[in-house]
Amino acid sequence: MSSLWFTYVDAELTAQAEEGVVVGNPGGRDRRRHENVDFDRFAETVSDMEGLFATTTDDLFVMGTSTATVQAVADVSSEEALRASEDLNVVAVGNASSVVAAWTEAINGGLEWEGSWKAENSVDDLVDDVPGDAATVTVETRGQDRIRDGDELRRLAEEAVSIADAFEGATARMPPSG
16 falls within a domain: yes
Do the beta carbons of residue 16 and residue 136 sit within 8 Å? no
133 falls within a domain: yes
Q: What is the CA radius of gyration of the chain?
A: 16
162 falls within a domain: yes
Distance CA 20, CA 96 (A): 4
Backbone angles phi, psi at 126, to 5 degrees: -70, -40
Q: So what's the pLDDT on residue 177?
A: 59
Region 142-161: what's the mean pLDDT? 86
Q: So what's the pLDDT on residue 54?
A: 87
Sequence-distant (6+) residues with CB within 8 A of 173 are 68
Mean per-residue pLDDT of the chain: 79
Do the beta carbons of residue 167 and residue 13 sit within 8 Å? yes
Among 106, 101, 3, CA closest to 45: 106
178 falls within a domain: no
Structural domain that includes position 113: 5-172
Do the beta carbons of residue 63 and residue 70 sit within 8 Å? yes
167 vs 89, higher pLDDT: 167
Distance CA 75, CA 142 (A): 24
Q: So what's the pLDDT on residue 171?
A: 93
Distance CA 155, CA 134 (A): 22
124 falls within a domain: yes
133 vs 2, higher pLDDT: 133
Give me the number of domains the chain comprises: 1
Region 118-123: what's the mean pLDDT? 56
Span 27-75, pLDDT tens digits: 544 443 445 566 777 777 777 677 888 888 777 889 999 999 999 999 9
For residue 177, give the amino acid letter: S
Distance CA 41, CA 27 (A): 10
40 falls within a domain: yes
